[in-house]
Amino acid sequence: MSRLPGKRARPVLRGPRRGDASGLPDWKPFYYLLEDLPGVEVMLVNARHVKNLPGRKTDVADATWLAQLGAHGLVRGSFVPPEPVRQLRDLTRTRTAVTRERTREIQRLEKLLEDAGIKLVIRRPWPSLPRTGCG
């Protein structure tokens, strides 16, 4: 929590701060490490599904309780895509972020030049190709 300057000590909530700025959810590194272990079956469970089930939910008994629920088939595992699909999704997200950032920088530069009185007209180095078709 922090306080806004000039306001009557009004609290402002901020999201959790982590040392790593990777943007990964907390479960991903652990899941990826455990899924590679031979003989270990890893199941990712949505907390909302488990929350409605009766049982002890303290930090100490959590792992044992969840393991028992999983062994008895009382919880359903969430879908985690296989490694090639995850890599493709990561590449797609990165490409989208880079394209968005590039567009933002181009627009920022155009605005800066227009504020300075310079109008920039960009033309493609190749002409539009004529459409060919029947009729």
- The pLDDT score that the predictor gives to residue 126 is 62
Residues 71 and 105 reside in one and the same domain: no
Residues 38-92 pLDDT 10s: 988 888 887 777 776 666 656 657 778 777 888 888 888 888 899 999 999 999 9
Q: Which region, left, alpha or beta, applies to residue 103 given φ > 0 means left and ψ of -120 to 50 means alpha?
A: alpha
Report how far residue 44's alpha carbon sits from residue 62's, in angstroms, rounded to the nearest whole number: 14
Residues 110-121 pLDDT 10s: 899 999 998 877
Residues 85 and 58 reside in one and the same domain: no
- The pLDDT score that the predictor gives to residue 74 is 83
- φ, ψ dihedrals at 3, nearest 5°: -115, 140
pTM confidence score: 0.54
Task: Assess if residue 108 is contained within a domain.
Answer: yes
Domain extent at residue 89: 81-119
Query: Total domain count for the chain?
Result: 2
